[in-house]
Amino acid sequence: MESIGVGLIGTGFMGKAHAIAWNAVKPVFGDVPSIRLAHLGETSDELASLKAVEFGFAKSSGDWRKVIADPEVDVVSITTPNRFHAEMAIAALKAGKHVWCEKPMAPKLAEAETMLAAQRRSGKVAVLGYNYIQNPAIRHIRKLLDEDTIGAVNHVRIEMDEDFMADPAAPFQQRHEAVNGWGAIDDFGVHPLSLVRTLFGSVARVMCDMAKPYPTRKTENGDRDVEVYDIATILMRLENGASGLIALSRTAWGRKGRIAIQIVGAKGSILYDQERMNEFQLYVTSDRATEQGFRTVLTAPHHKPYDRFVPAAGHSLGFNDLKIIECRQLIGRMRGEETAAITFDEGILIERTVAAMARSFEEGCWIDI
């Protein structure tokens, strides 16, 4: 692989993050082929052209199919709204392109299954945009678990909370329609589940409750029923038998990007919060009793691949840096390396767990996965 030709579809929050990552991955990591920013797709020629200049892409199109058809393109970043993922990813895979698709796979489990089938037929790499698992802190936590630093894990709690839907006076928006899914469990829940997979493996069963703090929202024509659930609370059992819970809220005032993880083992505990993504906390019983306490460990060059960004400890990576690492993992997969990434193979397990949560809520009982 002399160089990698990149196609990018979508230029919103995630589209820009992909663009930044594609620009930075070579300067940051060095050990990757040259990156050719080949073709950018948007909903109009004008927007595509404008963004191509900004993001440094050579060509642009108002039709995403041209991006996928472009022989200069080896891999396609798909960062459009969730309902377009399936069609685009399947088309790209059929065209023999690798795929870097934003999470979740698709609003309906059936669609996600067809995406996986397409990937399997193509033999191409298809990586999902679960960037939180790429944090050197998270990867180090995984290493600590592998090394049995805290012993066998018996209990896990993950909370994901933001407040962008917290204002009851904010108007009805498309997000409140059932066509977009369930709300918290798919919009947020997939992130905690990506962390569960990365750190512990599979979820065996779930018991889910959902709540709708603001059942109606204002429109220009009066109030309209909100069809999704901004809050979800889930009891779970992992395959290894550990008990746990996931709590999700998009209406938690004051929380901005919280993903708080608590892991308890037989010999210690680990804590993490995405809002302070450059640190984690570790408690181990091997410390002398009178000085046992949660250590706040700042990420540093020895927590790989932090070192590729900054050679000094405690100097902080940012959200976009996680996407750069994810991009490096994708490239590794394209080169046959065993990198840490959630591909369609693993992503489908996340989607199935979300579907089980939904069924559990509807039936009011535990659902096995």
Chain positions 6 to 35 lying near its own copies, rule: CB under 8 A, are: 13, 16-17, 19-20, 23-24, 26-28, 30, 34
**Using rule CB under 8 A, residue 207 touches its own copies:** yes
The residue (of 154 and 202) whose beta carbon lies closer to its own copies is 154
- CA 312, 191, 199, 234 dihedral sign is positive
The residue (of 104 and 268) whose beta carbon lies closer to its own copies is 268
**Using rule CB under 8 A, residue 146 touches its own copies:** no
Question: Cα dihedral angle (56, 59, 65, 68), rounded to 10 degrees?
Answer: -70
CA distance 306 to 36: 25
364: phi then psi, degrees, rounded to nearest 5: 65, 30
Residues from 223 through 262 that contact its own copies (CB under 8 A): 231, 233, 235, 237, 242-245, 247, 249, 251-258, 262
* The only residue of 63, 227, 279, 346 in contact with its own copies, by rule CB under 8 A: 279
Given the rule CB under 8 A, which of 87-95, 102-110, 114-122, 263-271 is the region that contacts its own copies?
263-271
DSSP 8-state symbol, 258: E
* The only residue of 202, 316, 339, 343 in contact with its own copies, by rule CB under 8 A: 316
The residue (of 201 and 215) whose beta carbon lies closer to its own copies is 215
Going from the C-alpha of 203 to that of each of 207, 307, 322, 341, 343, the distances in angstroms are: 11, 33, 25, 18, 17
**Using rule CB under 8 A, residue 331 touches its own copies:** no
* The only residue of 40, 115, 133, 144 in contact with its own copies, by rule CB under 8 A: 144
CB atoms within 10 A of CB 67: 31
Q: How far is the CB of 17 from its own copies (least distance, A)?
A: 8
- According to DSSP, the residues that pair with 253 across neighbouring strands are none
Give yes or no for a contact between 208 and 361, defined as CB atoms under 8 angstroms apart. Answer: yes
Residues from 69 through 108 that contact its own copies (CB under 8 A): none
The residue (of 71 and 293) whose beta carbon lies closer to its own copies is 293
* The only residue of 320, 359, 362, 368 in contact with its own copies, by rule CB under 8 A: 320
Q: Whose CA is closest to 38, among 84, 80, 69, 83? A: 69
Q: What is the CA radius of gyration of the chain?
A: 21
